[in-house]
Structure 1
């Protein structure tokens, strides 16, 4: 552990001041070294009070994701035991795919505070301001290649549950993978895969969660929000990430048992925001009003026409919208 981290740990363990001499004695360093490391912590965003003859007191920690602290909340068997973290990177999906191609371990997670080239669905750019969660999970599922898209729904279900567990915010899902609170979108999920003939080499699940963002561009203000705006509380992003990993591992392993959503359909449908409601199905620029019934075991949305005839539609081929707006 670096000296700076050792000093931080000592400050975190005390509610009062820690003297400079105590830091010197316990760490075997000079007063000058203590002063330099305290300044380095301040540059990292830590608010540290310094008082002559008292020492140093940690007043406030910065709003940064702490990969080490994720482990304090983690109870997974294999997921997120290897974390790649950086304050800024081009895209967590891009970096995870590089790991996927170079033999990266199943369950590796890539996390960034900010992305300079974040990816959205259908080639769109995902805007990535500070204060949110941007991360990608690298998976190597032993399933047929046509099952990869189902992992997107597994991810949405896990995120909805994690937000509810940590923040107490009731969340729903707009098929297939938008997590919704009070009618507004909280996240984006992009799943990409590399397959060889019929089987998967790796899957990367990229997720961007609006956590502590308080302002949105005018063009999306009516449909997008953040957990902070919806709860009035600041999000502990480190804890939220850990809870997502806890939830995801449970749901993902259920998916692997049957290689479909058989064990998750009931939970998913309980959160499906349009279930039992009429929706607009946009298919090849044609709009049809049908009733959403729920998802099937393959993740398709079951819809019903006025004659009672049902069919399943597949994500990527159609778009589903509410009759009077986003949901």
Structure 2
């Protein structure tokens, strides 16, 4: 079932209400734009007309400790869909963003919902926002150096109604791999790791660490190797490239 709206405050909010009521797996909430789209840690995800904004409801047959990996599986699915449709080669920034030429082109927000009915299966809301046909000038001025769109790269508009099923099917397929082929899925993810081998800054609350990005653990955490060679596993927080790791004409993206 696809519920399509011209505009919503947040597709995840509507999907959450449906999930609490026990909606079926595969339910999709789609919006032409959002006024209060959310990203990681409650940050606003700007969603002008022309983007693809949807939330897919899943009932994954996975152990609880595997649920955080759905974000990574979704990132890989979105990356592969963009590549298949356009030939572009976006990279995935742990844990939930995609980048083209050091600028953000897509974001993901996954949330779990447990229906109040006794024995009700947990739902996972897979929220996706892709800057497809919007233009950089459609975003607030402070974001324009930090974002890009598919249209800016392919110099053409793409039919959003054709893209939606491609993204949905790819997400379902990659999430299924978490149950029967998790190691291979994580290995594929690391082939497109935006941060790998680069100097990064990790911020968790007031704690700030610097080091070299060293890829995923088997649990989907991110490894950071500090200047003394110690490896730290990052569970949450924001990872960003140090300015020294970027080309001279690039801007450090500000949202993780």
Short-chain TM bin:
0.7 to 0.9
1:87 matches 2:10: no
CA contact (8 A) 2:223 2:231 kept: yes
Q: How does 1:43-82 map to 2 (within 5 A)?
A: 82=1
Question: For 2:191, which of 237, 260, 270 is the aligned residue?
Answer: 270
Ranges in structure 2 where 5+ consecutive residues have no aligned partner:
244-251
Ranges in structure 1 where 5+ consecutive residues have no aligned partner:
1-81
1:286 matches 2:207: yes
Q: Deviations over 1:209-253 (max 9, x none)?
A: 111111122211111111111222212222222221232122111
Q: Deviations over 1:171-193 (max 9, x none)?
A: 10111111111110011211111
1:308 matches 2:207: no
CA contact (8 A) 1:141 1:200 kept: no
1:240 matches 2:163: yes
Q: CA deviation at 1:285?
A: 2.3
* Count of residues in correspondence between the two structures: 241
Larger radius of gyration: 1
Higher RCO structure (Cα 8 Å, ≥6 apart): 2
Match of 1:194 in 2: 113
Per the normalisation by structure 2, the TM-score is 0.87
Supply the distance in 1 between the matched residues of 2:223 and 2:99 (Cα, whole angstroms). Answer: 20
Supply the distance in 2 between the matched residues of 1:208 and 1:91 (Cα, whole angstroms). Answer: 11
1:131 matches 2:50: yes
Supply the distance in 2 between the matched residues of 1:106 and 1:291 (Cα, whole angstroms). Answer: 39
CA contact (8 A) 1:136 1:205 kept: yes
Per the normalisation by structure 1, the TM-score is 0.69
Question: For 2:27, which of 84, 108, 124 is the aligned residue?
Answer: 108
Supply the distance in 1 between the matched residues of 2:92 and 2:64 (Cα, whole angstroms). Answer: 24
